[in-house]
Structure 1
Amino acid sequence: MVTGTRKRNDVYVYGVTAFPFLPRTLGQGIGDPPADVFLSRYKQLGAVVSGMKSSEDLRGPALRKNLMAHADVVNRVFQRGTILPVAFGYVCPLSWVRKQLLMSSYDWLLDLLNELDGKVELRLSARYREEPLLKAVIKSEPWLARNDYRSYADKIQHGQEVLEAIERRRDIGKKKLFGQLGPLLHDFVVDKNTSAMSFGASLLINRKDLAQLDHMLDEFARDADELDFKCVGPLAPYSFVRDVVRISQEAAWA
C-alpha cells in the first residue's frame, strides 16, 4: 500500500474487457451510495471502473458490502462477455488506468482476452469420506489392518503408515481425475493448501462443455464412492489472470 491523498479523479478498478461492450449500462459498484460503473476505453479495450470518493474506506465496516459489490460487477460483465478480473481493492487515478494499464499492456491484454473468450473458471473441491476411504486403503494395502502393537511408539508408527497410504491414494485419485478431465481442460491450477482428506483446484474450460464436465464428475464419483465433489461456477477466470494489473505501485492506493 502506498500512502497519499486521493484525488477527485481516482477510480476503483474491477477488470478489463473488450470494447465495444453491450449493454453500455453497467449498473452500480462499490461505495455509499454505490457509484456508477463505466468503461475507460483505449482502442479495443475497456477498463471497468467506478468513481471513488477521496474519503472512501474500502475495508473497515463496509468491507463485506464492497466485496459483494465488486463480485457483482465482475459477474455482470462476465455474463455478457469476457473479463479479466482484478483482485479486490485496487484504486488509482483515472489517467493511469488508460496509460499504465490499457496502453502499456495493450497487445498482451488483447491476446489474453481473445485466449479466454468463451471460457469459464470452475472451483472444484474434493473431500474424502473417512470410513469408505479407510476401507479402500486397507483393501489395497491389507497389511495396514494389523492391530498387534508392541508399544505406543509402534501404534504411532502404524498411524503414520496409514496416513501415508491415504495420501498416496489421494495423489493417485487426483492424477486419475485430472487425466480423465484432461480433454476438456484448457488449464488448471491445483490448490497448494491440501490435506490428506481433501484437495481443490481451479479449472478453465469452454462454457459449452459445462454439462459434459458435470457428467464426467458424476461418473468419477460413482466409481470412487469415497469421494464427494463440490463444483462452484461458472466464474470469471480469476485464477488465470493474476498479472492483469501492471500499474506502477506509485500510482495505486489499495
Structure 2
Amino acid sequence: MPRYVYAITAATHPCRLDGLAGVGAEPAPVSTITMGPLRAVVSDIEEEIRPKRRDLAAHQAVQERLMADGPVLPLQFGYTAPDDQAVADVLQERADDYLAALARLRGRAEYHVRASQDQDALLREILRDSDRARALNDRIRSGDPDPRLPLELGEIVAGEVRERQEALAAGLIRTLASYAEDHSARTPADGDVLNLSLLVRDDHKHDFLQAEDRLAEQAEDLEFRFSGPLPPYSFV
C-alpha cells in the first residue's frame, strides 16, 4: 500500500505517535518503518493528497510531536512512496547523509522572520531625501499636465524603494544571522521586505528572541512577524 512519509528520525528516537491521525480523507494511524539506524514516520494513504487545511495541520502535528523529543528531518507536505520497501531502500541508500543531517540539527530549531514596511512612510522619506522626486511631485500636485512627469517620478520612486529595501533587508539579515548557526533568505512576497529562516541553537534561543524584540521596538516603520521554534524544513 502507498505510504505518506512525514519525516525521518534516528531509530533511537521515541516517536511518541499515539493519538495522531494521518493525512487523507480517511486518516490512518501514524506509524514507523525502521531500517538500520534510521526510522521513517509514515501512514497509509489511498488517494492523491492535496494541501487542504486539515491535512496540512495533520502533517504539522506529526512534526511538532517528533521535534519535542529529538532531532527530526521533516519532509515537505505531499511526499509519498509506493510501499514500505521503497521507504526502507531510501533509508538504507542515504543513511550517511541522513545521519549527518540529524547530528547537525540536534539541539536546534528553525525560526522564521517576515517584515513589511509602511509604504506611506517610505514614500514620505523618499520625497524628503530626493530633490528631484520632490520637485516632480510638486509639479504634478500643482497641475502641470506634462505626461512625462508621473513616469519619471514613478521610475525614481521605484528605484529608491528597491535600493532602500534591499539595504534594509541586508541589515536585518546581518543582525539576526549573528544569533544563528545558519540562515536562508528567500525573495520576499506580498509587499514584504524580508523573508528569512534561521537555524538557532536551543541554548541561544533566549538571546535570539531578545534580539527580535529589540528590532521590533526600534524599527517603528516596520511590522515584524516572528514564528518558531519550527521543524527545520529550510535546513534539511
**The two structures share one fold, judged by TM-score above 0.5:** yes
1:66-215 paired onto structure 2 within 5 Å: 66-92=55-81, 93-99=83-89, 101-146=90-135, 147-149=138-140, 151-194=146-189, 198-215=193-210
Q: Distance in 2 between matches of 1:137 and 1:107?
A: 53
> After superposition, what is the alpha-carbon deviation per residue over 1:105-153, rounded to whole angstroms, capped at 9, x for unaligned?
0001000011111221122111001232223334443543222256221
Equivalent position to 1:42, from 35, 38, 46: 35
> After superposition, what is the alpha-carbon deviation per residue over 1:38-94, rounded to whole angstroms, capped at 9, x for unaligned?
2211222111111234xx3423xx933222211111121112221111122222210
* C-alpha contact 1:163 1:196 (8 A) present in aligned 2: no
Tell which deviates more after alignment, 167-176 or 195-204: 195-204
Q: Normalising to structure 1: TM-score of the pair?
A: 0.80
- Per the alignment, residue 251 of structure 1 pairs with none
Tell which deviates more after alignment, 170-179 or 181-190: 181-190
Give 1:177 deviation, angstroms: 1.0
> After superposition, what is the alpha-carbon deviation per residue over 1:153-193, rounded to whole angstroms, capped at 9, x for unaligned?
12221122012111111111111111112321222222224
* C-alpha contact 1:11 1:52 (8 A) present in aligned 2: yes
Q: Distance in 2 between matches of 1:75 and 1:11?
A: 20
* C-alpha contact 1:25 1:38 (8 A) present in aligned 2: yes
Determine helix, strand or coil for the equivalent of 1:148: helix
Cα separation, partners in 2 of 1:168 and 1:196, compared to 1, 3 Å = farther
Q: Which segments of 5 or more consecutive residues in structure 1 lack a partner in the other structure?
A: 1-7, 242-254
Q: Distance in 2 between matches of 1:196 and 1:161?
A: 19
- Per the alignment, residue 18 of structure 1 pairs with 10
* C-alpha contact 1:166 1:196 (8 A) present in aligned 2: no
* C-alpha contact 2:8 2:72 (8 A) present in aligned 1: yes
Give 1:20 deviation, angstroms: 1.2
- Per the alignment, residue 247 of structure 1 pairs with none
Give 1:223 deviation, angstroms: 3.2
* C-alpha contact 2:6 2:77 (8 A) present in aligned 1: yes
Q: Normalising to structure 2: TM-score of the pair?
A: 0.86
Determine helix, strand or coil for the equivalent of 1:28: coil
Identity of aligned residues (%): 28
- Paired letter, 1:95: Q
Tell which deviates more after alignment, 172-181 or 62-71: 62-71
- Tell me how large the CA RMSD over aligned residues is: 2.2
Q: Which segments of 5 or more consecutive residues in structure 2 lack a partner in the other structure?
A: none
Q: Distance in 2 between matches of 1:40 and 1:199?
A: 39
Q: Distance in 1 between matches of 2:207 and 2:169?
A: 19
Tell which deviates more after alignment, 184-193 or 195-204: 195-204
Q: Distance in 2 between matches of 1:75 and 1:197?
A: 27
- Per the alignment, residue 224 of structure 2 pairs with 229
Q: Distance in 2 between matches of 1:36 and 1:204?
A: 31
Q: Distance in 2 between matches of 1:195 and 1:91?
A: 31
Count of matched residue pairs: 228
